[in-house]
Amino acid sequence: MLGPSIAWYLGVAAFLFGTGALGVLVRRNPLIVLLSLEIMLNGANLALIAFSRHAANGAGQIFALAVMAVAASEVCVGLGLVVALHRRRLALDVDRLSELRG
């Protein structure tokens, strides 16, 4: 394989996952929490594809595509929640949304 070995790709994936985790934990705007979640999922996807290339096995790419579908579903539900919050005139702040009562 030309270029860097798999370990370099895994380093990038680890950094992306850590950055996304930081965003999920620190940020309070639910939209940015969702965006950070996407970064975490993409870091995991990069690791899956790197291992798929390492082992010359397609299962990792299949799993990455499944993760993409799950991420699209999660964005769909998450954005639905944000729109519902906005319609009820609740503050878009995950620290203040501590009650789940409808």
Partner 1 sequence: MIAAYSAGGALVWIVWVVAGLACLGSGVAVVSFSNPFFSALALIGNLGSLAVLYLLLSAQFVAAAQVLVYAGAVMVMFLFVIAYVGPRSETPWSGGPSWQTIGAVLAAGAIFLEIIVVIALKAGNRLAHTDHVNGTFGSPGWIGRLFLTDHLLAFEITSIVLLVAAVGGVILGSHTKRADEEASA
Contact at 8 Å (CB) between 16 and 46?
Answer: yes
Q: List the interface residues with partner 1, window 63-82 (CB under 8 A).
A: 63-66, 68-77, 79-82
Q: List the interface residues with partner 1, window 16-35 (CB under 8 A).
A: 16-23, 25-29, 31-32, 34-35
Q: Tokens 């620290």 label which residue?
A: 95
| Three-state DSSP state, 14 | helix
Q: Under the criterion CB under 8 A, does residue 96 sit at the interface with partner 1?
A: no
Q: List the interface residues with partner 1, window 34-53 (CB under 8 A).
A: 34-36, 38-39, 42, 45-46, 49-50, 52-53
Smallest distance from partner 1 to CB 33, Å:
10
Contact at 8 Å (CB) between 39 and 23?
Answer: yes
Alpha-carbon span 37 to 20, nearest angstrom: 6
